[in-house]
Structure 1
Amino acid sequence: MESLPQEIVQNILSRLPIPSLVQSKLVCRAWRSLIRSLIHDPSFILQSNHPIQSQLYLGDFSSQNHGNYNMVTMKLPRPPLSRFTLASSCNGLLCLLDYHRSFEPCIYNPFTANFMELPHLTRHHNFQVLGFGFHPITKEYKLVEISYTIYTCGGGSFHRVDPSPFKSDVHILTLGSSTWRHLGTVPYHVHSQKKSQARINGKLLHWVSWMKNRRNTIIISFDMETEKFQEIPLPDCCSSSNNPTEGFDQVVVIRGCLSAVRYGNDSEELEIWVMKEYGVKESWSKEFRIGAYVPKILLEQDESEFLIYSRSYLHRKQTRVMCMLRSGEMLLEYRNKALVVYDPHCKTFKHVQLTFEGIPTFFIIDVHVANLNWIDTLVDMAEN
């Protein structure tokens, strides 16, 4: 291979599946740099509970035939857990929640089979959101938990807690440490795990949140180095509104920039705003508009709900923006049951055909960069 021109080597490597590329990074530094430079669509980690409970797959867009997308999935080795939930992915490592240990987090690399149970954290709340990141300067992986109570049980029934205090407990764990540290409380209630987390430059985690005395949502960031929270300045359309339906609903990374998803109150369209210069309010720009769409599989499975609610309502409640593909199209996930590619230029939707062992009725998906990293072994610093 050393005698081959770099263009030929690059052509060969570009045709390899993700698992082979991961192994090829170990050949030499030149190959590692070359593989890093290859432009690929992101790969994905999927968890399905049918036909096998808590089975992990690596998903990769293998081909595009006649305008159709296919995502081929490869079954991955299982961690030593009988039942778990995929919470997050960072730099090749997965954060899993152990169902049989009260959803305690664990760390797992499915390509090396490295697995770590984390120290127990005594919780006093019934709702938690986890952030998982790697700081490229301190070389530390950290897990941050934001938790608060939304329901209490009394007299055999559940009661919603008055949200007026809007306080959440924050704990952080540096992987390799034996204990969690309590960072105090913050005046935020963070949205659900999967629809409101974005990581910029590894060390900055972002969530959509509610705050006391604010009717609409805000975006908060957490710095893995300073371990401090900060509010992100919003565009005028969201920062000045008192209508809770006009705030942002999701955060996502588009072209390396912090981006946010908003549903216009007077429109069926989903809007994607991009912060082109991080931290600068004036750099927010509405870059994409996605019309209402409901995948066929949901119409078949949820026919009764579709008859009750409008297409616009279902679109707002079930759409999650995953990422932008190298083609400039958007990958959308619908209610953990369907993947769709949206072309912003032609304004068309294409169903993604998933190749599984069996036909799952529900899956959890996260963007993933597969590699051979472990907590104390940094083979590749590529960030997802």
Structure 2
Amino acid sequence: MLTKEEQLDVGLPEHVVLNILCRLPFKSLIRFTCVSKRWRSLIISDPQFANSHFRLAASQLRRNVLIAIHPYPILISEGTLGTTPTMLPSPFQSLDDNFSVKNLTFPSEPNSDIVFMGSCNGLVVLGKLYLYDEELLGKLYSDFSDMLVIWNASTGFVRKIPSPNCQIGMISFYGFGQVLPSDDYKLVLILDAGGLMEVHVFSVGANCWKVVKAPDLLPSPIWSTALGTYSNGAIHWASFRNPETFQRPVYAFDLANEQFREMPLPVLSHSEDDMERIRITTPVLVGGCLCVMFQDIDEYSEFWAMKEYGVPASWVKLFRLNVRDLPDMLAPFFRRYYWNPIFIAEDGTFLFQMNKKEELVRIKCYKEEKPVCTGQYSREEVPGCRCAIDAILYDETLVWIPE
């Protein structure tokens, strides 16, 4: 009598089985891990199969938002903090297109607050977060003895990253991405070491850190966001105006040659005084193109995409969001605070985080109509505790990286 596994393979050559499985959706493959030990090993533990599935299914990947929840005791009286409740919400949640929330389980419970340091092909880097003021804003420091890991939230894969060999200093900027066209990935940390820049790069394939030459910029560059945006094999940060050159380029760190270069911004019809108050960020554009957002806190936000990477003439304006057109519930917030986009799409859909309210809101900007709120997420209330959130876009993939 044939075994269960032998029955599955009758009349199906190995390469045919592989070709079929590589073209199946992620959720179907996860269900099929219970078919047999061989299928489970292939789907969960074979990096070559995972990479083949990713390449074939790249255009059909399901993209979710990964959320980390940070609970903090509330200040009861001057100098006295309340106690953190024992019953806390799940530290990680996943938000899908329908705004359905799913609690996620991390293999080992993190013993400190974490921050997302990058996301690429379903792999997310987590790092430790230290608080330094009462507004619950955080900066990372280079003591990663407790938490610096790569995590695939869809499969549960976790790989610890060794601590970088550097002095204690404030990590001002960071990012994570794939080295094209290889299967290697790199994590980039930019430290402010006493007013000087140190650029530390970790190669996942080589499993080691190295220090590369810092860019010839200001001693301590001022970029608009700590988390860099991955696109086309490079990590990008938008800058504030350089007081020496009066320019505001996007800085790209190429992961292959480990060098910085400048990417010119779209040409806008604004005066220098107008540009002074405009904040520039590089949010994720679903589709892979490099994107920039120009945000005038009182008037509008404008989104542009570079259709042909590295070609300045290929910048195209996607859409413009006028504050006066926003729903009444959002307009006051937009006029008071800057906000962080999590992702945007060419059809005018974008998700952003309302920092002061710790909420995620999705808006659709139709061409000739006013923006419409199409989804909203608020973290679970915890009595006696304040919960901050961190959010990042990630793909449902099987990708993992063996040591």
In structure 2, do the counterparts of structure 1 residues 289 and 41 end up closer, same or farther at CA, with 3 Å as the change threshold? Answer: farther
Q: Which of residues 60, 83, 92 is equivalent to 1:56?
A: 92
Residue 168 of structure 1 pairs with residue 197 of structure 2? yes
Query: Could you list the per-position Cα deviations for residues 65-87 of structure 1 after superposition, in whole angstroms to 9, with x for gaps in the alignment?
Result: xxxxx332232324353113122
The answer on whether the counterparts of 1:146 and 1:190 sit within 8 Å (CA) in structure 2 is no
Residue 158 of structure 2 corresponds to residue 146 of structure 1:
no
| Alpha carbons of structure 1 residues 19 and 84: separation in structure 2 relative to 1, 3 Å | farther
Tell me, yes or no, if structure 1 residue 205 matches structure 2 residue 265: no
Equivalent-residue separation in structure 2 for 1:324 and 1:41 (angstroms): 15
Q: 2:290 aligns with which of 258, 261, 270?
A: 258
**C-alpha distance in structure 2 between counterparts of 1:113 and 1:85, whole Å:** 17
Determine whether 1:333 maps to 2:345.
Answer: no
**Residue in 1 that maps onto 2:311:** 280
Measure, in 1, the Cα distance between the counterparts of 2:102 and 2:401. Answer: 26
Provide, for residues 112-157 of structure 1, a one-character-per-residue CA deviation record: whole Å limited to 9, x for no partner.
34231323332364242111111132321111111226xx8xxxxx
Instruction: Return the alpha-carbon distance in structure 2 between the equivalents of residues 40 and 93 of structure 1.
Output: 13
Contact 1:86–1:364 at 8 Å: present in 2 too? yes
Structure 1 residue 36 displacement after superposition: 1.4
What value does the CA root-mean-square deviation take over the aligned residues? 4.2
Q: What is residue 114 of structure 2 aligned with on the other side?
A: 85
Q: Partner of 1:73: helix, strand, or coil?
A: strand
Task: Give the Cα–Cα distance (whole angstroms) in 1 for the partners of residues 29 and 105 of structure 2.
Answer: 12
Q: Which amino acid counterpart does residue 353 of structure 2 have in structure 1?
A: E
Structure 1 residues not aligned, in runs of 5+? 3-8, 64-69, 153-160, 162-166, 300-309, 378-384
Aligned residue in 1 for 2:176 = 132
SS in structure 1 of the partner of residue 67 of structure 2: strand
The match for 2:394 is: 368
Deviations 1:266-301 (Å, cap 9, x if unpaired)?
A: x611111222222222222322111225885x89xx
**Aligned residue for 1:229?**
260
- Output one character per residue of 1:41-82: Cα deviation in whole Å (capped at 9) or x when no partner: 521111012463781222212x4xxxxxx3322323243531
CA contact (8 A) 2:224 2:239 kept: no
Tell me if structure 2 keeps the 8 A contact 1:43–1:368: yes
The aligned counterpart of 1:302 is: none
Taking only the aligned residue pairs, the percentage that are identical comes to: 21
In structure 2, the CA distance between the partners of 1:234 and 1:240, relative to structure 1 (3 Å rule), is farther
Query: 3-state DSSP class of the match of 1:373?
Result: coil
**Mapping of residues 291-310 of structure 1, within 5 Å:** 291-292=322-323, 293=326, 296=329
The 1-side partners of 2:378 and 2:28 are apart by 15
- Decide whether aligned partners of structure 1 residues 80 and 198 sit closer, same or farther in structure 2, where only a CA change above 3 A counts: same
More divergent stretch after superposition (176-185 vs 271-280):
176-185
Structure 1 residues 89 and 365: alpha-carbon distance in aligned structure 2, compared to 1, 3 A threshold: same
Distance 2:113 2:351 in 1: 25
1:344 equivalent to 2:365? Answer: yes
Using the alignment, how far apart are the partners of 2:91 and 2:306 within structure 1? 36
Match of 2:127 among 89, 94, 97: 97
Q: What TM-score does the superposition give when structure 1 sets the normalisation length?
A: 0.70
Change in Cα spacing, 1:342 to 1:376, as seen in structure 2 (3 Å) is same
- Aligned partner of 1:213: which letter? E
Aligned pair in 2 of structure 1 residues 247, 311: CA closer, same or farther (>3 Å)?
closer
- Runs of 4+ deviating beyond 6 Å: 21-25
Distance 1:124 1:235 in 2: 38
**For the residues of structure 2 that align with 1:91 and 1:97, how far apart are their CA atoms?**
18
Compared with structure 1, are the counterparts of its residues 125 and 209 closer, same or farther at alpha carbon in structure 2 (3 Å cutoff)? farther
* Deviation, structure 1 residue 207: 0.6
Of the structure 1 ranges 320-329 and 20-29, higher mean CA displacement relative to structure 2 is found in: 20-29
TM superposition shift of 1:366: 0.2
Q: Describe the shift of the 1:144–1:47 C-alpha distance in structure 2 as closer, same or farther (beyond 3 A).
A: same
Give 1:169 shift.
2.0
